């Protein structure tokens, strides 16, 4: 796939209309540190430092599609409870069409709570219902799906085995989609894939595929046997088996397997990676990509998302970066454009971190500080003082490096997502415009003295103070250079 084809595909995504049907749930993350053993039992005590509540299950497929710019409608059944209403409101805030979301007082909305210390998951707690839909609810859901199929370009079925996708509903929905000429891509569950007969594509992971085929996967030969068996049993046009750090493999009838190695730099967490693969392959097929091209893009995206902790998404820019087709200039934004981008990311549950400074001569202390700031959330925005602002703050001999050059160098750092220039002496107006979730300052600041603290806390955010690296400063570097060349 050429660079031009990839860029054209990504630009076309806002025209791909998606319908997502399946098990919606909430993924809750409690982040903390474990420094001692409980006196009550031989278990670690986790001191919770922050928490995060995200859309999970089929909701993570929705998240991935919305981040890519696709219009999305969702059809599902959740409990008539607080979590169900929260989930619905979160979808609406993400501009997802929720008219096909039904509430059932006899069900509990699924919530999975993960307790983590650092990047290590200590425990998972599941609260959910698994019983199949009753006949009346199933018929009501089928009507909602049928009403929306003509207006979609691709149907996603996200099956987590929580009872929404019954065998009879699957058969009816797949038949409707085939009659309408819509591709059907499925993230499957269980050990019998015949219930998905007629679907365009299934995307199980390695262990799910082995379970469904009742065969162990020990090498590529046994993997090929599993792929061939599942293709035949489920009457599929194609099958993609995701293989974590080994990438993915594409199987089609009467063709040799296509193995795509991962391009992940690091693998932190594979949870939710299957949702990303499902979203990219389905959107790719709907946008006119060949199957092997869609799988290639999905593999790029999966390589990005497994480097994040928890159920996550991947943006169009991250896909371009993974393909080596973008440069630092695309990260440099004006405040008005960036405000719109950040609103959408926050609606999807991503924490925006903001810090600011002159960054005249970039050094190791700066890089360490910025990397620490990025770890506090999912998006790091750097407010950069303009040349005029630096002169007022530092004197007429500064800056040593012009603002556009400073911005370009900073944007080249992997830990920085966006750079935005500001002319004022303080970033207060910029903070009020961007409304970050976390405001970060470095050094010996007290939180109450940080510019923008009151504003950030007023909309539910917080201030974080990070230490600087001792012995590293721009002023010190300048003084050393002047001394050596005097």
Listed as own residue / partner, the contacts of 255-259 with beta carbons closer than 8 Å and 24 or more positions apart are 257/220, 257/223, 257/224, 257/227, 258/292, 258/295, 259/220
CATH of the domain at 255: 3.40.1190.20
- To the query of whether residue 275 is one of the catalytic residues in this protein, the response is yes
Reported in sequence order, the residue ranges of 105-152 that DSSP labels E, i.e. its strands, are 110-117, 120-127
**Per-residue confidence band for 483, with pLDDT thresholds at 50, 70 and 90:** low
Whether residue 217 is found in the same domain as residue 289: yes
The predicted model scores a pTM of 0.68
Instruction: Express each pLDDT in 138-191 by its tens digit.
Output: 999 999 999 999 999 999 999 999 999 999 999 999 999 999 999 999 999 999
Residue 486 has pLDDT above 90, yes or no: no
Instruction: Express each pLDDT in 380-414 by its tens digit.
Output: 999 999 999 999 998 998 888 999 999 999 998 98
Q: Is 391 annotated as a binding residue?
A: no
Instruction: Express each pLDDT in 284-305 by its tens digit.
Output: 999 999 999 999 889 888 877 7
**Per-residue confidence band for 468, with pLDDT thresholds at 50, 70 and 90:** confident
**Contact criterion met (CB below 8 Å) for 421 and 405:** no
Structural domain contains residue 193: yes
Q: Is 54 annotated as a binding residue?
A: no
Note down the domain range covering 282.
Answer: 3-26+55-113+130-322
Q: Is 321 annotated as a binding residue?
A: no
More confident residue, 67 or 303: 67
Residue 103 has pLDDT above 60, yes or no: yes
pLDDT at 119: 73
Decide which of 262, 292, 322 is a domain's last residue: 322
Q: Is 244 annotated as a binding residue?
A: no
Active-site pick, 23, 153, 159, 275: 275
Whether residue 274 is found in the same domain as residue 382: no
| Burial letters 312-331, b for 16+ CB under 10 A, else e | bbbbbebbbbbbeebeeeeb
Averaged pLDDT, 35-42: 94
Instruction: Express each pLDDT in 204-238 by its tens digit.
Output: 999 999 999 999 999 999 999 999 999 999 999 99
Instruction: Express each pLDDT in 347-384 by its tens digit.
Output: 767 799 999 999 988 888 899 999 999 999 989 999 99
Whether residue 409 is found in the same domain as residue 454: yes
Whether residue 187 is found in the same domain as residue 65: yes
Decide which of 276, 292, 322 is a domain's last residue: 322
CATH of the domain at 393: 3.40.50.620
Whether residue 277 is found in the same domain as residue 381: no
Give the total number of structural domains in the chain: 2
Structural domain contains residue 220: yes
Whether residue 277 is found in the same domain as residue 396: no
Averaged pLDDT, 328-339: 80
Decide which of 297, 322, 347 is a domain's last residue: 322
Whether residue 189 is found in the same domain as residue 308: yes
């Amino acid at each position: 796939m050429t660079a031009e084809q990839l860029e054209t595909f990504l630009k076309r995504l806002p025209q791909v209309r998606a319908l997502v049907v399946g098990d919606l749930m909430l993924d809750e993350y409690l982040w903390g540190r474990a420094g001692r053993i409980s006196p009550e039992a031989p278990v670690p005590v986790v001191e919770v430092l922050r928490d995060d509540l995200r859309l999970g299950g089929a909701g993570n497929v929705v998240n991935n599609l919305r981040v890519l710019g696709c219009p999305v409608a969702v059809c599902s059944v959740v409990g008539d409870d607080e979590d169900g209403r929260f989930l619905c409101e979160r979808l609406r805030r993400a501009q997802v069409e929720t008219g096909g979301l039904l509430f059932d007082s006899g069900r509990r909305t699924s919530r999975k709570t993960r307790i983590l210390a650092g990047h290590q998951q200590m425990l998972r707690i599941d609260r959910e219902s698994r019983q199949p839909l009753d006949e009346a609810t199933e018929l009501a859901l089928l009507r909602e799906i049928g009403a929306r199929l003509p207006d979609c370009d691709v149907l996603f079925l996200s099956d987590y085995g929580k009872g929404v996708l019954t065998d009879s509903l699957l058969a009816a929905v797949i038949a409707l989609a085939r009659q309408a000429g819509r591709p059907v891509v499925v993230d499957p569950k269980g050990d019998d894939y015949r219930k998905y007969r007629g679907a365009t594509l299934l995307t199980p992971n390695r262990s799910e595929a082995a379970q469904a085929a009742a065969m162990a996967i020990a090498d590529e030969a046994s993997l090929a046997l599993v792929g061939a068996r599942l293709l035949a049993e489920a009457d599929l046009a194609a099958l993609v088996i995701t293989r974590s750090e080994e990438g993915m493999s594409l199987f089609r009838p009467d063709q040799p397997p296509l193995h795509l190695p991962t391009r992940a730099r690091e693998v932190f967490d594979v949870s939710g990676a299957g949702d990303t693969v499902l979203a990219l392959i389905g959107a790719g097929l709907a946008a006119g990509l060949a199957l092997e091209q869609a799988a290639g893009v999905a593999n790029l995206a999966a390589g990005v998302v497994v480097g994040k902790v928890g159920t996550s998404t991947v943006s169009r820019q991250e896909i371009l970066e993974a393909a080596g087709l973008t440069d630092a200039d695309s990260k440099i934004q004006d405040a008005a454009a960036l405000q719109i981008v950040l609103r959408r990311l926050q609606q999807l549950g991503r924490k925006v971190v903001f810090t600011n400074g002159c960054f005249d001569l970039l050094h190791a202390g700066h890089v360490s500080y910025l990397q620490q700031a990025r770890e506090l959330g999912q998006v790091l925005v750097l407010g950069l003082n303009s040349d005029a602002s630096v002169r007022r703050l530092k004197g007429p001999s500064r800056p040593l490096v012009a603002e556009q050059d400073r911005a370009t160098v900073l944007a080249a750092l992997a830990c920085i997502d966006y750079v935005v220039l500001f002319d004022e002496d303080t970033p207060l107006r910029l903070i009020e415009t961007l409304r970050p979730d976390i405001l970060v300052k470095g050094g010996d600041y007290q939180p109450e003295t940080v510019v923008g603290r009151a504003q950030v806390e007023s909309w539910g955010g917080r201030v974080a103070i990070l230490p600087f690296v001792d012995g590293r400063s721009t002023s010190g570097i300048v003084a050393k250079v002047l001394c050596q060349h005097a």
